[in-house]
């Protein structure tokens, strides 16, 4: 049950607190989850996601009418201004009421002296003015705009458009519990509209909704999972009783998929993060008899029991640049140094995990990034350091081939951007 403190605060009050945490580095999804029992969670989600999705244009419009730079203001005051601008720009709430709600929230937060400033700025806000700066036009930081244009000169416009679109809600049907046609029949009986996808066991809801309201939620009939995110597991192709490692597994969605699709295989799911609520969602979404969640630092082999794995899925930590429509906070909180640091970690993980892969075993490397630095360049560097690697071809129903793997680019109302490479470990002749 939600606490009284959560229930009595206004949506603008809570949203300002959430956005302040996000601008200080906490993922938006995690910050929102702290309030998942709030009666206003739907409105909170709209306010926070819309503000982050359009952060750069809202920021520019406010900066143009403010005598003080936004980034020099108290962080909660800045967030209240962004929330006010968001509602003036993207909600149907009458402007005077939207401004009044934000000013009231400022007083509740303890920023009474800033109330007049917020009121004055928001009353001058003009939603009809088109932003002039590239960052505001594309809703992306300049470094990200430049990198996307460089890596994908022919696709950059669509990537930019997709980054501000609302992410679709795609379900992976758990065929170990129910066949796809039977689950689709359940949706039809519940009058829930959906569309078929390029994958046999995945559907996209026409209108996103709470998973708890979907049929089969308690029975583990489905898992909410982006279409492109479902592809790395299909590339594993294990034989019965093969030992499988899901590396960097949190929050466990792909671990759950491996266990569902390959019920005859033993799956170890490792992550450096301790188990948390999101892991529990994955564990509770189906039969977990062949799946074990463990904690360990996979940049070393100190966690390893010495028994080689036949298949390894390394869904490596990355910039998340392929998921901007789903995680709009990434474009505000990440920087170009983060990309280089991620590439170093990815290379380190590959080198470590190669030691625990059996000869003739397969490692599938994947990221939810579209940046070449985290994808083909990491594989290039890895190949230069090992003589026992065979890069195997991949062909999937969506996406395109790259130098060493396969890439999906973000597509509005369809799927995220993902990279995959399939590496086989060969025996080196002495």
Neighbours of 352 (CB within 10 A): 19
Per the CB < 8 A criterion, the answer to whether 35 and 48 are in contact is no
Neighbours of 165 (CB within 10 A): 15
Nearest to 250, CA basis, from 29, 52, 420: 29
Q: Give me the torsion for CA of 325, 326, 330, 336, rounded to 10°.
A: -60
Per the CB < 8 A criterion, the answer to whether 231 and 418 are in contact is yes
Measured distance CA(387)–CA(384) in Å, rounded: 8
Per the CB < 8 A criterion, the answer to whether 253 and 286 are in contact is no
Measured distance CA(18)–CA(411) in Å, rounded: 28
Nearest to 384, CA basis, from 367, 365, 404: 404
What is the bridge-based pairing of β-strands 357-367 and 309-315?
parallel
Measured distance CA(203)–CA(409) in Å, rounded: 19
79 catalytic per annotation: no
Distances in Å between the Cα of 323 and the Cα atoms of 64, 283, 415 are 30, 24, 9
Task: List, in sequence order, every residue forming a beta bridge with 425; answer none if it has no partner.
Answer: 389
Q: Tell whether the torsion through CA atoms of 236, 241, 244 and 249 is positive or negative.
A: positive
Q: For the chain, what's the residue count?
A: 430
Determine whether 130 is exposed, middle or buried from the number of CB atoms within 10 Å of its CB (0-12, 13-18, 19+): exposed
Per the CB < 8 A criterion, the answer to whether 162 and 417 are in contact is no
Contacts of 421 (CB under 8 A, 6+ apart): 364, 365, 366, 375, 379, 391, 394, 404, 405, 406
Catalytic option among 86, 248, 318, 368: 368
Determine whether 284 is exposed, middle or buried from the number of CB atoms within 10 Å of its CB (0-12, 13-18, 19+): exposed
What is the bridge-based pairing of β-strands 389-392 and 194-196?
unpaired
Per the CB < 8 A criterion, the answer to whether 372 and 320 are in contact is no
Catalytic residues: 368
């Amino acid at each position: 049950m939600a606490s009284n403190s959560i229930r009595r605060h206004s949506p603008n009050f809570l949203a300002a607190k959430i956005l302040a945490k996000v601008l200080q580095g906490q993922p938006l999804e995690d910050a929102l989850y702290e309030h998942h029992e709030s009666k206003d969670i739907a409105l909170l989600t709209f306010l926070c996601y819309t503000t982050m999705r359009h952060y750069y244009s809202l920021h520019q419009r406010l900066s143009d009418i403010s005598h003080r730079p936004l980034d020099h203001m108290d962080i909660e005051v800045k967030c209240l201004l962004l929330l006010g601008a968001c509602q003036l720009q993207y909600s149907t709430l009458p402007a005077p009421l939207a401004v009044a709600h934000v000013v009231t929230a400022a007083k509740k937060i303890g920023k009474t002296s800033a109330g007049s400033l917020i009121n004055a700025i928001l009353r001058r806000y003009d939603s009809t003015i088109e932003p002039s700066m590239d960052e505001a036009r594309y809703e992306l930081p300049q470094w990200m705009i430049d990198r996307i244009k460089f890596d994908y000169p022919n696709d950059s416009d669509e990537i930019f458009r997709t980054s501000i679109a609302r992410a679709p809600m795609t379900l992976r049907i758990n065929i170990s519990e129910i066949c796809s046609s039977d689950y689709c029949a359940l949706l039809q009986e519940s009058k829930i509209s959906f569309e078929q996808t390029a994958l046999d066991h995945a559907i996209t809801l026409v209108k996103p909704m709470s998973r708890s309201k979907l049929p089969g939620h308690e029975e583990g009939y489905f898992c909410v999972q982006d279409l492109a995110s479902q592809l790395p597991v299909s590339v594993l192709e294990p034989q019965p009783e093969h030992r499988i490692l899901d590396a960097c597994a949190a929050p466990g969605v792909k671990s759950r998929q491996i266990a569902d699709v390959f019920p005859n295989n033993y799956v170890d799911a490792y992550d450096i993060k301790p188990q948390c609520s999101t892991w529990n969602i994955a564990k509770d979404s189906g039969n977990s008899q062949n799946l074990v969640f463990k904690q360990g630092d996979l940049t070393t082999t100190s966690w390893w029991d010495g028994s080689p794995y036949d298949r390894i899925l390394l869904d490596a930590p990355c910039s998340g640049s392929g998921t901007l429509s789903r995680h709009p906070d990434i474009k505000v909180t990440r920087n170009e140094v983060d990309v280089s640091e991620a590439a170093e970690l990815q290379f380190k993980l590959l080198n470590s995990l190669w030691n625990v892969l059996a000869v003739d075993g397969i490692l599938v490397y994947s990221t939810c990034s579209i940046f070449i630095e985290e994808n083909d360049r990491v594989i290039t560097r890895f190949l230069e350091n090992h003589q026992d690697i065979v890069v195997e071809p991949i062909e999937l129903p969506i996406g395109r081939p790259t130098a060493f793997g396969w890439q999906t680019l973000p597509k509005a109302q369809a799927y995220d951007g993902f990279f995959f490479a399939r590496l086989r470990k060969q025996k080196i002749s002495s």
